[in-house]
Amino acid sequence: MAAPEGLFVLEGRPTAQLIADQLREQIVQGTFRPGQQINESAVAAQLRTSRGPLREALQRLCQEGLLISHRNRGVFVLELSTADIKEIYAVREAVELAASNTLMDAGQDQINDTCRVLKEIIGDMAKHVAVSDWQAIARLDMQFHTTFVAGTGNTRLIRIYETLAAESRMCILSLEVAYPRLDVLVQEHQNLLDLLEAGDRKGLQQAVKRHLQKAVEDLTVTRQDNEITA
């Protein structure tokens, strides 16, 4: 009855999902630029597969909203307008506030487990601050928040947030160095962690709101107005 999952579980995942995960990573890393068309034949060849499985993966990313499909024209990488940034961070606020509440209502063990992982991530962030590795900082930033949401154990909330995290990384990447001073950033996350550990529900909620609103300001202030999206 109990299948030997351990060995085959890595390759046991559906192909389309594996390809989609690879493409998502390439998108948030900027290998594919916003607005760029995904050439099916070329990308399929690059990933050592054929157009069939690739197209299935593309549909997943279209459903996520990272790609946009135009009939008979192809799929294109999402271009982020200031309106998009506001949307993304509004949803993030909703999700993270809900996660805060759920975590606070959860057992102390669950909170401690989450805090332990968050501590490690902040530690890693501090290391990369020293060398101003923006890409790494952005990745760890979103890893922090994803871990936070994952602490709730709500699989649907987690799935939703993974897309938001990808979009957030695209925001940061597309604006290059829109980050505030890096030590301040680390401090903000440390603050969130402290409030979670202290069980300060109201304080955590307020801190999350401020943290995200500040990010929106940083991301939109330097940006030319391009709310008009084709």
Q: Which residues bind a second copy (CB under 8 A)?
A: 11-17, 20, 52, 55-57, 59-60, 62-65, 69-71, 87-88, 90-91, 93-95, 97-98, 102, 154-157, 159-160, 164
Q: Which does 181 bind (CB under 5 to 8 A by kind): a second copy, DNA, none?
A: none
Q: Which does 104 bind (CB under 5 to 8 A by kind): a second copy, DNA, none?
A: none
9 binds DNA (CB under 7 A): yes
53 binds DNA (CB under 7 A): yes
If DSSP codes are grouped into helix, strand and coil, which group holds residue 77?
Answer: strand
203 binds DNA (CB under 7 A): no
Residue partners of 57: CB distance under 8 A and separation at least 6: 15, 16, 17, 18, 19, 20, 23
Quickly count helices (H) and strands (E) in the chain.
10, 3
Q: DSSP state, 114?
A: H
Tell me how far, at minimum, the Cβ of 90 lies from a second copy, in Å: 6
Q: Cα separation of 51 and 15, whole Å?
A: 12
Q: Cα separation of 37 and 77, whole Å?
A: 6
Q: Cα separation of 110 and 103, whole Å?
A: 8
| Listed ranges 65-73, 94-102, 121-129, 134-142: which one lies at the site for DNA (CB under 7 A) | 65-73
Instruction: Please report, as residue ranges, which positions from 72 to 101 form the binding site for DNA (by CB under 7 A).
Output: 72-75
Residue ranges binding DNA (CB under 7 A): 1-2, 4, 8-9, 14-16, 37-41, 49-53, 55, 69, 71-75
